[in-house]
Amino acid sequence: MRAQVLVGPQVCRYCAAMSEPLVVIDKVNKHFGDLHVLKDIDLSIDKGEVVILIGPSGSGKSTLCRTINRLETFESGSITIDGKTLPDEGKELADLRADVGMVFQSFNLFAHKTILENVTLGPIKVRKTPKAEADKRALELLDRVGVAHQKDKYPAQLSGGQQQRVAIARSLAMNPKVMLFDEPTSALDPEMVNEVLDVMVQLAKEGMTMIVVTHEMGFARKAADKVVFLADGEIVESNTPNEFFSNPTSARAKDFLSKIL
């Protein structure tokens, strides 16, 4: 019984309560030419916390995700992951980046590799995991997201929802400390949205630290600890899902919610 409690979500609520920050974004500024796309972004995400990033199109949500992963550079401020500050380049950056899983709107699977190979490639190449061990772990992960029976197929033979679940398994295979999701369901046919969200809700329950860009309010209410509302590159509001959805304080958040709810 006790062991179950230790691996269950309870322990992670405990971690969150201890306020142990895993990702710390401190006064980050970024421009694209003249466009000031991230303005003094301050955001701290605790271990096991699930943060939803929401905001109008063009407000900088994708750029912020890409910046956390250092797919984008930034001019000032710092980003720390598990106590380590993101360097500009080199092996240390590659190591830190491997700790940050990212799932995009488009699934980006390798078209000419099987589902199993898509999941084992990173562990074998980057983590130097022996193939037999990588295969075993990949099968466990594919089973967890419900597509183990598709392991020998190629991405094009799977539905969008199945491909996105493979993309999640592929990220998890690297044992990331934090997972970023940038609108993971917005390219899916409506009937496939829930099968992907269910996997994400499960991950959140298991205590994964997650930053999720999504307009899926059901998911936000079910899984999020915090909703961060971004507009014009600024964090305008940050609150619990209940408070944010029922009592938005800023005019911009009220306006945004009136359009999407």
By the criterion CB under 5 A, which residues form the site for Mg ion? 61-62
Between CA 123 and CA 129, with CA 127 as vertex, the angle to 5 degrees is 65
Distance of closest approach, residue 37 Cβ to ligand ADP, in angstroms: 4
Residue 185 found at the interface with ligand ADP (CB under 6 A): no
Question: By CB under 6 A, how many residues form the interface with ligand ADP?
Answer: 11
- Among positions 69-128, residues that touch ligand ADP (CB under 6 A) are none
Distance of closest approach, residue 176 Cβ to Mg ion, in angstroms: 20
Distance of closest approach, residue 72 Cβ to ligand ADP, in angstroms: 8
Stretch that binds ligand ADP, among 16-24, 29-37, 108-116, 234-242 (CB under 6 A): 29-37
Distance of closest approach, residue 53 Cβ to ligand ADP, in angstroms: 8
236: closest CA among 74, 77, 56?
56
Residue 218 found at the interface with ligand ADP (CB under 6 A): no
Please tell me the distance from the alpha carbon of residue 209 to that of residue 22, in angstroms, as a whole number.
8
- Burial class of 34 by CB neighbour count within 10 A (0 to 12, 13 to 18, 19+): exposed
Residue 62 found at the interface with ligand ADP (CB under 6 A): yes
Q: Which residue has the tokens 């106590």?
A: 83
Please tell me the distance from the alpha carbon of residue 229 to that of residue 213, in angstroms, as a whole number.
10
Please tell me the distance from the alpha carbon of residue 221 to that of residue 21, in angstroms, as a whole number.
22
Positions touching ligand ADP (CB under 6 A) are: 32, 35, 37, 55, 57-63
